Amino acid sequence: MELTGAQMELIPGYLASFDTLIGDQRTRTTFRETVKGIIASGSLVCQRIAAHSALLNQSKEGGQRVSRMASAESTKRSPLDAESVTGALRRRGVTHLAEVDTDELWLVADGSDLRKPYAREMPNLMQVRDLRGNPVPGYRTLNVIGMTPSRRAILYHRLFSSQEEGFVSESLEVQHSLQTVSESLAVVKPRMTVSWILDRGFDDVAAWRTVWEQEEHLVCRVKHSERLVRYQNDAGEWIEGDIAAVQSQLKPLATAETEMVVRRGRQKRAKRQRVKAQIRAGSFLLTYPTNVRREGPGEMVQKRLWLVEVRVLDTSLEPWLLVTDWPVSDEDSAVRIFRMYRQRWAVEDSFQFVKDTLGWEDVQLLDMAGIRTMLALGWVAAGFLYELGITLDWEEVRLLARLGGWAERKGNKPGKIVLTRGLRRVLDMLTTQAFLNQHRAEHGELPPQIDDLIRSFRAGEL
């Protein structure tokens, strides 16, 4: 990446994590320029990627070069497919997280739909939902972000379709993601407690069982309030009921404050503002078979869990109902669970960042393997940007933020979208300069009108 200072030193080290996947210099160059082009163009369209790489744009077939690499047509000596790229990205992420001195690691797993509402020829399209809940063609993905208090890393990404040959079930895809990430964390688990923070789509005993078998913890938002459990009534007697009945027995434990984009009271529009949340909690017993959605014999196991209700006051938001195996018995433990689940919203921002800033849904290859590889390369670009924005202590990062439109004032920290916008402007400048230099080298001078325009700009007349 043709930047200055600390950023110039970071990109070679970051992309070196993928060197073992590449068997020839041409592929290594294409890989490097593709990642840079994704960041600069904000797109996964091969032609746009090439247009934002000074090197690839020198060739009339720059876009085809990116496409052939993604489709494995030009990588016979390089195992450069989606699985190998995301595997290297995962190893890089684990190393990045392991460098932090902390005893906790949070894993946020989420499914994110890749929507292609106007696509007709792309392979294995399935039905997903648009933002209004209407069915449109597309694919599903599973993604896992690892978080410590100061770092984030991408630990898993996979695109799949129910229409693809060999597809078994979405539940099996979830199991694979949980197990793959857990195995990759073997080096950090002896000193870090691992907790999964899951949304409603993971309200599934089979997923919970796998997490517990891996000696990990979970916080999961409830989707199935009709699930039968046992809980204590006001008289202290254990009775059978559902999650909804447990909710009626919860005790108030804490009040917390946070910042959210909500509409309060009579406000006409939602905006980012401070809100208070009331937290109630109580325990219950869950009995489940260990062989649920698994072949072979199993046994019935009983586990004590806690139900946590978070009600955001003075808003119309429905209460969050969270299940966790972390004991929740006092104010501190209640606020901790609230903050854990609140963190997954930051990861929602990460998914939106990838979609919007790197053109996640622009991908157009007509080959399933190529689509997967291009998305994996998009996550490689996102991984570098996550690492780039770790701290504002670097003047280079502050400059990128200002180029992206950030106003430096107390309490206003730049997000990844702002940093990427600034990064694009720098790369656009470098690409423009490369074109101008090439034109001068070929023709001796620039066209008079262009030369006058540049001189006027430098003189401050524009």
349, 376, 394 - which closes a domain: 394
Q: 407: buried, middle or exposed (CB in 10 Å: 19+, 13-18, 0-12)?
A: exposed
For 261-289, give one letter per residue: b (16+ CB within 10 A) or e: ebebeeeeeeeeeebebbbbbbbbebebe
Claim to verify: residue 381 and residue 409 sit in the same structural domain: no
346, 379, 394 - which closes a domain: 394
Is position 255 within any domain? no
Claim to verify: residue 436 and residue 389 sit in the same structural domain: no
Q: How many domains does the chain have?
A: 2
Claim to verify: residue 435 and residue 373 sit in the same structural domain: no
Is position 64 within any domain? yes
Residue 91: other Cβ atoms inside 10 A: 16
Claim to verify: residue 405 and residue 462 sit in the same structural domain: yes
Claim to verify: residue 13 and residue 31 sit in the same structural domain: yes
For the four alpha carbons of 226, 230, 234 and 235, in that order, the dihedral sign comes to positive
Is position 422 within any domain? yes
Residue 258: other Cβ atoms inside 10 A: 14
349, 379, 394 - which closes a domain: 394
For the four alpha carbons of 322, 325, 329 and 333, in that order, the dihedral sign comes to negative
Q: The whole model's pTM is what?
A: 0.79
Question: What is the residue range of 46's domain?
Answer: 5-77+365-394
What is the residue type of 70?
Answer: A
CA distance 357 to 362: 11
Helix (H, G, I), strand (E, B) or coil at 132: coil
pLDDT at res. 375: 85
Do 351 and 110 meet the contact criterion of CB atoms below 8 Å apart? yes
Is position 15 within any domain? yes
Claim to verify: residue 455 and residue 400 sit in the same structural domain: yes
Radius of gyration for the alpha carbons in the chain, expressed in angstroms and rounded = 25
Helix (H, G, I), strand (E, B) or coil at 69: helix
Is position 86 within any domain? no
Is position 334 within any domain? no
Is position 100 within any domain? no
Provide the residue count of the chain. 462
pLDDT at res. 241: 95
Claim to verify: residue 70 and residue 32 sit in the same structural domain: yes
Claim to verify: residue 387 and residue 449 sit in the same structural domain: no
Is position 44 within any domain? yes
DSSP letter for each residue of 374-408: HHHHHHHHHHHHHHHTS-S-SHHHHHHHHHTT---
Claim to verify: residue 403 and residue 461 sit in the same structural domain: yes
CA distance 343 to 346: 5
pLDDT at res. 2: 39
- Tens of pLDDT along the chain (462 residues) come to 333 445 545 767 788 888 888 888 888 888 888 887 887 777 888 888 888 887 888 877 888 898 888 888 877 777 788 899 999 999 999 999 999 999 999 999 988 888 888 877 788 999 998 878 899 999 999 999 999 988 888 899 999 999 999 999 999 999 999 999 999 999 999 999 999 999 999 999 999 999 999 999 999 999 999 999 999 988 888 999 999 999 999 999 999 998 877 888 888 888 878 899 999 999 999 999 999 888 888 899 999 999 999 999 988 888 999 999 999 999 999 999 999 998 887 666 666 666 666 677 777 766 788 888 888 888 887 777 666 544 444 454 566 677 777 776 655 666 656 666 776 676 566 567 666 777 777 788 888 888 877 777 666 654
Strand ranges in 299-457 using DSSP code E only, listed in sequence order: 300-312, 320-324
